[in-house]
Amino acid sequence: MSFGKRLARLLVICFLPSVLAAQTAGYKPEWCKELPRPEYKTLQRVLPEEPWFEIYKFSQGVFAIYEPHQSEEVISYLIVGTKQGLLFDTGMGIGNIKSVVSRLTSRPVVVLNSHTHNDHVGDNWRFQFIYGMDTAFTRANAKGSREDAQAEITPDQICGELPVGFNSKTYATKPWRISLFVHDGFKVNLGGRTLEIISVPGHTPDAIALIDRQNGLLFTGDTYYPAPIWLYRPETDLDAYVASVKRLAALAPQIKLVLGAHNIPVASPDVLPRLVDAIQAVRSGKGEVKAEGAGKAMHTLDGFKFLLAEPKKGID
C-alpha cells in the first residue's frame, strides 16, 4: 500500500466517528442535495416500491436500474428480448439486483459488464451465466475484493437508508465465475433484438459499449455518462480512451439514444463527437483545471468534466 493510501485510510479511521455522529444529526453529503435529478421526471418509473433501486422503463424490454442512495449513482441496464435478457452491469451489490431482475422478466438472463470496476460487478456472484472480456484486468477483478467496496459505504457516500439486512461489516465485492469469454464484435441474440459488443478500452482495459443497431441504442458504460468522467486510475489509458471515443462518435448518426452508467441514463448522440473534441482539447492543455485532492484534477470544458491524474512532480 502506498503512503498516500495509508494516509487516506488513517484519515477515514480518525474522522469516521465524527461523520457518523453528524449523520445521526441529519447530515446529508453534498452530492445527495442534488437529488432527485430533474432529468428523471420525464422518465417512466416502474416498481416504485423497491427501496434501494429506482427502475425506469424506456421502451418494451429496456430498463435502467439506478442506485441513487450511493454516491456513484450507478445505473445498470436490463435489455429483454423474446428469448432471453441481458443485464448490462450488476451495480454495487448493496441491494439485491437479481430479485429486481426477476420481477422485470421471467426469461433467462445473462450478465455482461461494461467493465469490471467494483461498482458495476457487485451482484455478479448471484448470477449463473456471465460473459467476460478476455483481459488480465477482468480475470483479476473476478476474484473479488474488499477494499474498494468498503470505501463505497462510508457515511459521506450514502444518501438515505441502506437496505434492511445489509451487513456493512462483511460488505465486499464477491468473486464470480466467467462462463464465456467474449470479444469485440460479439453478438448476443436476445430474440427479436441483437446486442453487439464494441470494445472501448481506456477507462479500463476491459471497457465495452453495447449497441442495439435496430433500435438505435448505445450503452456506453463509464466511457461516457453525463457527469464527471473518471479517468485518473492507474488502469486508465488516455490514448486508448481517445481512440475509443472516436469509434463511438463515428456511430452517432446511427444512434437515437446514448445510455451511460452513472447519474443520468439519457443523453443525445451528438454528445459523442463533442466528447472527442473536449477530451483532446483538455489533453492539449485547454479548459479550466481545479485540483481535487490526492493527485487528481478536474478539467472542465464545453460542459464536460474529466477527473484526471495530475502529472507526478519530482520523486514519489
Q: Given the rule CB under 5 A, which residues bind Zn ion? A: 117, 222
Q: Which is nearer to Zn ion, 174 or 262 (CB)?
A: 262
Residue 273's H or E segment, with its range, is: helix 271-283
Shortest gap between Cβ of 309 and Zn ion (angstroms)?
A: 14
Q: Which is nearer to Zn ion, 104 or 248 (CB)?
A: 248
Q: Which is nearer to Zn ion, 231 or 267 (CB)?
A: 231
Shortest gap between Cβ of 21 and Zn ion (angstroms)?
A: 32
Shortest gap between Cβ of 116 and Zn ion (angstroms)?
A: 9
Q: Give which of 81, 79, 42 is closest to 64, Cα–Cα.
A: 79
Shortest gap between Cβ of 222 and Zn ion (angstroms)?
A: 4
Shortest gap between Cβ of 77 and Zn ion (angstroms)?
A: 15
Q: Which is nearer to Zn ion, 84 or 135 (CB)?
A: 135
Instruction: Output the CA torsion 136→140→141→145 (10° steps).
Output: -160
Q: In what order do the strands lie in the sheet with 130-133?
A: 44-46, 54-59, 62-66, 75-80, 85-88, 109-112, 130-133, 180-182
Cβ-defined contacts of 2-10 (< 8 Å, 24+): 4/294, 4/295, 8/294
Q: Which is nearer to Zn ion, 80 or 248 (CB)?
A: 248
DSSP output for 202-247: SSSTT-EEEEETTTTEEEEETTS-SS-EEE-STT--HHHHHHHHHH
Q: Give which of 132, 51, 137, 140 is closest to 90, Cα–Cα.
A: 132
Task: Tell me the residue number closest to Zn ion, measured at CB.
Answer: 117
Q: State the Cα–Cα distance between residues 65 and 256, nearest whole angstrom.
A: 20
Q: Which is nearer to Zn ion, 117 or 193 (CB)?
A: 117
Place of cell 456506453: 220
Shortest gap between Cβ of 305 and Zn ion (angstroms)?
A: 15
